[in-house]
């Protein structure tokens, strides 16, 4: 159990375009999902907390108008990187909070974004 | 001061030895502590979590927590080459995970 999927696993796009990444909890309902970004040789940095049916909560320094998050159902959250630039190239990872656990999160496999 | 600190390593141990990974945290209100393993190019996978002071064992892994010293560690017994990865310590008190920078472990055959 506790499987989280992400799609796509890898995406290459041109500068200025928008990219949507999907995160799904496959065998449990997740009212809370999280989006992280990881640059090479660095740790995971939390970007935002996605709550089903309400607005996402963004961490300090993360532009909410650039990184649009939608959590429309209990099993799906999406992250859209708008007007992507080369500096947005990174490994984007989502996680879903297990419903019966206070703090336990299960991670998706990640999406490698490359902006040319 | 970083909220969660780990020695980036690499920590190199021979196969069969005990690997000891350490982590310190700054927020005394932290309540939950996690160890994740991350292979290159992959997302983290949960190894263990610990909430109470003391030791928690799961197979070859033992997590140790000392809240007074704000210190959490992970011991890996009988280390195998397949254990070679980056180990991330994560701390939470609000439902959000704060990660350390990770320690790279190399287990040499």
Nearest chain B alpha carbon to A41: B101
Quote the CA–CA distance of B83 and B6 in Å, as a whole number.
18
Distance from CA of A82 to the nearest CA of B (A): 23
Quote the CA–CA distance of A75 and A79 in Å, as a whole number.
14
pLDDT in tens, B44-79: 999 999 999 999 999 999 999 999 999 999 999 999
Count the neighbouring beta carbons within 10 Å of the beta carbon of residue B80.
12
Quote the CA–CA distance of A17 and A99 in Å, as a whole number.
35
Count the neighbouring beta carbons within 10 Å of the beta carbon of residue B69.
9
pLDDT in tens, B17-36: 999 999 999 999 898 999 99
Quote the CA–CA distance of A111 and A93 in Å, as a whole number.
6
Q: Which residues of chain B does A102 touch, with a Cβ-Cβ cutoff of 8 Å?
A: 31-32, 95
Question: Do residues A73 and A52 lie in contact, with contact meaning Cβ atoms separated by under 8 Å?
Answer: yes
Burial class (CB in 10 A: 0-12, 13-18, 19+), B76: buried
The CA-atom distances, in angstroms, between B78 and each of B16, B18, B20, B39, B83 are 4, 6, 11, 19, 10
On whether any CB of chain A is under 8 Å from the CB of B13, the answer is no
- Report residue A14's pLDDT band, with 50, 70 and 90 as the boundaries: very high
Strands (DSSP E) contained in chain B are 4-5, 11-14, 19-25, 32-38, 45-50, 54-58, 61-66, 71-76, 85-92, 98-99, 103-108
- Report residue B1's pLDDT band, with 50, 70 and 90 as the boundaries: low
Q: Which residues of chain A does B31 touch, with a Cβ-Cβ cutoff of 8 Å?
A: 102-103
On whether any CB of chain A is under 8 Å from the CB of B40, the answer is no
Quote the CA–CA distance of A92 and A109 in Å, as a whole number.
9
Q: Residue B67 has which token pair?
A: 């809240």
pLDDT for B83 equals 97
- Report residue A112's pLDDT band, with 50, 70 and 90 as the boundaries: very high
Chain B interface, best mutation among A32, A105, A111, by max B CB count within 10 A: A105
Cβ neighbours of residue A69 closer than 8 Å, sequence gap 6 or more: A35, A48, A50, A56, A77, A78, A79, A80
B92/A44 Cβ within 8 A: no
As a whole number, the mean pLDDT across chain A is 92
């Amino acid at each position: 159990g506790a499987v989280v999927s992400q799609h796509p696993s890898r995406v290459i796009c041109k500068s200025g375009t928008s990219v949507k990444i999907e995160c799904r909890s496959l065998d449990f309902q997740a009212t809370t999902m999280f989006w992280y970004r990881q640059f090479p040789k660095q740790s995971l940095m939390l970007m935002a907390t996605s709550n089903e049916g309400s607005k996402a909560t963004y961490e300090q320094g993360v532009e909410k108008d650039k990184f649009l998050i939608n959590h429309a159902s209990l099993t799906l959250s999406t992250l859209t990187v708008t007007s992507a630039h080369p500096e947005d190239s990174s490994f984007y990872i989502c996680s879903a909070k297990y419903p019966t656990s206070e703090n336990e999160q299960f991670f998706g496999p990640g999406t490698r974004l490359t902006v040319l | 001061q970083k909220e969660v600190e780990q020695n980036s390593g690499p920590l190199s141990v021979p196969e069969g030895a005990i690997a000891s990974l350490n982590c310190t945290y700054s927020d005394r209100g932290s309540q939950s502590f996690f160890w994740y393993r991350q292979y290159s190019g992959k997302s983290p996978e949960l190894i263990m979590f610990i909430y109470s002071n003391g030791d928690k064992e799961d197979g070859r892994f033992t997590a140790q927590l000392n809240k007074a010293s704000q210190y959490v560690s992970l011991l890996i017994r009988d280390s195998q080459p397949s254990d070679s990865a980056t180990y991330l310590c994560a701390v939470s008190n609000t439902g959000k995970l704060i990660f350390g920078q990770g320690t790279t472990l190399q287990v040499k055959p």
